[in-house]
Chain A
Amino acid sequence: AQKITQTQPGMFVQEKEAVTLDCTYDTSDPSYGLFWYKQPSSGEMIFLIYQGSYDQQNATEGRYSLNFQKARKSANLVISASQLGDSAMYFCAMSEYNFNKFYFGSGTKLNVKP
């Protein structure tokens, strides 16, 4: 089974609008962390936001927030007030406490339209 699933291969959003990128995960480990990374066309991977499985509140970092629904095993990324520079690939990832790997989803390509 896939550990991380991103069902939106590509998305468009109008500049200044909010957009939600979906991510669901699968784990039996009660302790885990969820991450979102941004990958511009240059290829670098940029860390955006982190959510721990025991965190009571949804994580926020500037214009990024993580909508964490533990029972549904979803960790959607919300980008508010989209900017042209937000156009990139976005990857959801998970780290489990008891294991040594880092699992990535297949990514969502976001295009911000002016």
Chain B
Amino acid sequence: DGGITQSPKYLFRKEGQNVTLSCEQNLNHDAMYWYRQDPGQGLRLIYYSQIVNDFQKGDIAEGYSVSREKKESFPLTVTSAQKNPTAFYLCASSIKAGGSTYNEQFFGPGTRLTVL
């Protein structure tokens, strides 16, 4: 089945540790995105990538880093510089970014990160 996988579903880390969240898609989509969601809030864009080996900062990129070495993979690293990393993280992909009005984003199941 085509889709987006995120692992793990729940992640616990100690304060000061870097942690990497996985996101893999087999939809052959060019564009991939990372969002952060705090309880009762909307989605905020962390990073997005339109093509392999290229990515752009979103609205809240500080304290996060990404890579896009393969089309199907877009891992997110939450660094110790992120002041309040406990949140729900959603990965998404779309066929391409821009150049279309029908640019539905497909979402993974999310990872709940708790920093102790």
Contacts and interface: CB of A to CB of B under 8 A. Distances in A.
B58 A33 contact: no
B74 interface: no
Contacts of B56: 100
Contact of A104 (B43, B48, B104, B109): B43
A43 interface: yes
A44 B109 contact: yes
B53 interface: no
Interface stretch (B60-68, B77-85, B90-98): B90-98
Q: How large is the interface on A (under 10, 10 to 19, 20 to 34, 35 or more residues)?
A: 20 to 34
A72 interface: no
Contacts, number: 72
Nearest to B31: A100
A98 B102 contact: no
Contacts of B31: 100
Nearest to B35: A104
A100 B97 contact: yes
B99 interface: yes
Nearest to B102: A33
B98 A106 contact: no
Contacts of A45: 90, 92, 105, 107
A20 interface: no
B17 interface: no
Interface in A44-71: 44-45, 47, 50, 52-54
A34 B98 CA distance: 14
The 3 closest A-B pairs by CB, nearest first: A100-B97, A33-B101, A45-B107
15 contacts: A43-B110, A47-B105, A50-B102, A50-B104, A91-B43, A95-B103, A96-B98, A97-B98, A100-B97, A101-B58, A101-B97, A102-B33, A104-B43, A106-B41, A107-B42
